[in-house]
């Protein structure tokens, strides 16, 4: 799996790095947020298509040569009313990515969504069936209550958390919602449809999203104009139940705070990668932060992230004897689950609309491993024309040799991107 295209971790690169390192001597107020505005600028219509191309270069660690990278993507979204009560939705993305990881195709198709929905005339009852990208949680970079994120990243082309949530695979499920003024309840049931993920180019990859029977029940409420929340109960075959809750509050006219918490039993990925022993433990996961937006359209977000299943600094250092390949397996497993790989971390996220020029937007993020202080930084400058976007993206990873981001073979990358909207 690639994390950014420009990938953060790939199995082959970890192995190469290990050999090299050894040789070298071992205006709803509550909707206030800094999420980028949708890139799609075509008028609202049933079918929306855009084509995106990128070229770039990666500088690597461990004496590995620099890499030239390129990508071409076709993105399609279609949604239309079939009758007064029925609607159909289709969302698909086709990516050509070079170079591809060994064992992975250069061309990957992701059927993100394909479902039908029914809503009664009063708008109180809603039923959906098919592949649905069900997202939960108000946090930015890490969502403990987003229970259907595991295994959903088939091809990843950016580290921007909003792009990750948008471009992942949905899960085949049946979902019912009962809505009323100021709240609602929902139940989603996702059956097991396959045993394992697929690496075939045009596979539905049901083994990635539907390899176990799962269910999610939730209750949401808008307590006031300044406060909203959600409570969730999640169950997965072979694991204990997980309970989650989130809250969003308008702290001032320009500041929104959020908190998201989940507790339950899950696999200990670090022990499995380092010792080969798979076990389940009960731990907490948490994200909490705030977004401040200025009158100049600068939005700043700070988020604290905690994953009780991940190793702290002492456990990470104690497992170093397992070697760099074992740590690489752990990082791959963590990003497949879309968990943070450290016990605690920080995310800083910023967007500035009309930065320097009217149609120029600036987006930047910084991820900090709070245990080993390694860092991932990403900056994008994007200029908007009526039916075309041009962008420049820069990314860097820094840290000591055996830290989370210092372990990554890819040290720095730069790419130019163009997107055509139809």
**Per-residue pLDDT tens for 285-325?**
999 999 999 999 999 999 999 999 999 999 999 888 888 89
CATH classification at residue 414? 2.40.160.100
- Whether residue 277 lies inside any domain: the answer is yes
The percentage of residues in the chain with a pLDDT greater than 70, rounded to a whole number, is 90
Number of domains making up the chain:
1
- Whether residue 39 lies inside any domain: the answer is no
pLDDT at 4: 43
- Whether residue 263 lies inside any domain: the answer is yes
- Whether residue 285 lies inside any domain: the answer is yes
pLDDT at 9: 52
- Whether residue 144 lies inside any domain: the answer is yes
* Structural domain that includes position 258: 11-24+53-421
- Whether residue 171 lies inside any domain: the answer is yes
Q: Average pLDDT of 148-175?
A: 95
Cβ-count burial 358-372 (b if 16+ within 10 Å, e if not): eeebbbebbbbbbbb
- Whether residue 38 lies inside any domain: the answer is no
* CA geometry: angle 132, 134, 137, nearest 5 deg: 170
* CA geometry: angle 192, 197, 203, nearest 5 deg: 95
128-132, 243-247, 276-280: least confident range: 276-280
Beta bridge partners of 154: none
**pLDDT tens for each residue of 26-63:** 334 454 444 454 444 445 689 999 999 999 999 999 99
Q: Is the pLDDT of residue 349 over 90?
A: yes
User: pLDDT band for position 6 (50/70/90)?
Assistant: very low
With 0.85 as the threshold, say if the pTM is over it. Answer: yes
- Whether residue 88 lies inside any domain: the answer is yes
**pLDDT tens for each residue of 184-242:** 999 999 999 999 999 999 999 999 999 999 999 999 999 999 999 999 999 999 988 99
User: pLDDT band for position 172 (50/70/90)?
Assistant: very high
H-type alpha helices, 252-312: 269-275
In whole angstroms, what is the distance from residue 119 CA to residue 121 CA? 7
């Amino acid at each position: 799996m690639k994390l950014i295209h420009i990938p953060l971790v790939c199995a082959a690169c970890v192995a190469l790095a290990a050999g090299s390192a050894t040789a070298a001597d071992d205006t709803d107020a509550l909707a206030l947020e800094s999420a980028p505005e949708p890139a799609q600028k075509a008028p609202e219509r049933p079918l929306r298509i855009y084509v995106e191309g990128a070229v770039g270069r990666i500088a690597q660690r461990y004496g590995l040569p620099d890499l030239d990278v390129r990508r071409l993507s076709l993105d399609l979204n279609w949604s239309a009313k079939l009758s007064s009560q029925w609607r159909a939705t289709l969302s698909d993305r086709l990516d050509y990515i070079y170079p591809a990881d060994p064992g992975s195709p250069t061309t990957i198709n992701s059927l993100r969504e394909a479902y039908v929905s029914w809503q009664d005339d009063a708008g109180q009852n809603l039923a959906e069936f098919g592949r649905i990208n069900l997202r939960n949680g108000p946090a930015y970079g890490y969502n403990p209550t987003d229970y259907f994120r595991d295994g959903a990243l088939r091809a990843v082309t950016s580290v921007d958390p909003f792009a990750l949530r948008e471009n992942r695979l949905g899960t085949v499920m049946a979902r019912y919602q009962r809505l009323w003024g100021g709240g609602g309840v929902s139940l989603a049931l996702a059956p097991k449809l396959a045993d394992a993920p697929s690496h075939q180019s045009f596979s539905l990859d049901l083994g990635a999203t539907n390899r176990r029977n799962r269910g999610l029940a939730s209750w949401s409420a808008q307590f006031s104009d300044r406060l909203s929340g959600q409570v969730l109960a999640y169950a997965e075959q072979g694991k204990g139940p997980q309970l989650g809750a989130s809250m969003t509050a308008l702290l001032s006219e320009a500041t929104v705070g959020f908190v998201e918490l989940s507790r339950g039993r899950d696999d200990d990925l670090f022990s499995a990668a380092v010792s080969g022993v798979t076990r389940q433990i009960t731990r907490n996961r948490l994200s909490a932060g705030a977004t401040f937006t200025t009158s100049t359209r600068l939005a700043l977000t700070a988020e604290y992230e905690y994953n009780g299943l991940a190793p702290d600094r002492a456990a990470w250092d104690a497992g170093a004897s397992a070697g760099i390949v074992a740590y690489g397996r752990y990082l791959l497993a963590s990003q497949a689950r879309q968990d943070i790989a450290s016990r605690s971390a920080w995310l800083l996220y910023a967007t500035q609309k009309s930065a320097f020029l009217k149609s120029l937007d600036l987006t930047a993020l910084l991820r900090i491993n709070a245990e080993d202080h390694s860092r991932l930084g990403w900056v994008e400058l994007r200029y908007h024309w009526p039916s075309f976007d041009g962008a420049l993206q820069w990314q860097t990873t820094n840290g000591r040799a055996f830290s989370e981001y210092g372990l990554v073979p890819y040290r720095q990358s730069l790419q130019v991107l163009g997107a055509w909207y139809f």
